[in-house]
Amino acid sequence: MKLTETVEKKDDRQFLVFAISDQEMGFNIECVREVLKPQGIHSLVNAPDFIEGIIYVRKYALVVISLRKRFGLKSLESGHKERIIICKVNNMIVGFIVDSVSEVLTVPLKDIQPPPQVLSLQNQGQYVCGLIKVGERLVTLLDLEKIVTGEELARLSEIKA
């Protein structure tokens, strides 16, 4: 392998691409632990609306967040493509419900564009950390640490099932 090929690979980033409504979004693969099929979610008392509840994965209770609700979108009936993406966020493991998961995308760092400033005016804009154009597709990259703030995670750790 040539040195230039090694350098190029170091400058690549991988993202898990998923869908919410008709939008493709992605999480940095380094934060993703696993992807699960939907399973029984136990409700939480006094939890914010976007918190679906908790699930048990290998004897551990994990908070599950609906990205649809977090972004102010209507909930859908659970579909056969729905998935729960388990991620590490601010030293806590959290699950995110998405409509479907499609691929792991490898992208050169130079191809990741900053979000346009107009997004900061929209509710969802605060969660966006970049954009990737793949052919005719546009993948919105999300910042996990902004989807769930440290303060919210602290509150969630105190909630009981």
Q: Which helix (H) or strand (E) holds 112?
A: strand 112-113
Domain that holds residue 82: 13-158
> Would residue 56 count as lying in a domain?
yes
The predicted model gives 85-92 an average pLDDT of 90
79 pLDDT band (50/70/90 cuts)?
A: low
Of the two residues 76 and 132, the one the predictor is more confident about is 132
d(CA 90, CA 151): 10
d(CA 61, CA 55): 6
CATH of residue 70: 2.40.50.180
- Of the listed ranges 4-8, 30-34, 92-96, 157-161, the least confidently predicted one is 4-8
Residue 2 has pLDDT above 60, yes or no: no
| Structural domain count, the chain | 1
pTM score:
0.84
pLDDT in tens, 50-78: 899 999 998 888 999 999 998 888 877 66
Residue 85 has pLDDT above 70, yes or no: yes
d(CA 155, CA 161): 13
Q: Could you tell me where the DSSP H helices lie in 31-117? A: 67-70
> Would residue 3 count as lying in a domain?
no
Residue 48 has a pLDDT of 83
- Whether residue 82 contacts residue 88, with contact meaning beta carbons closer than 8 Å, is answered with no
> Would residue 139 count as lying in a domain?
yes
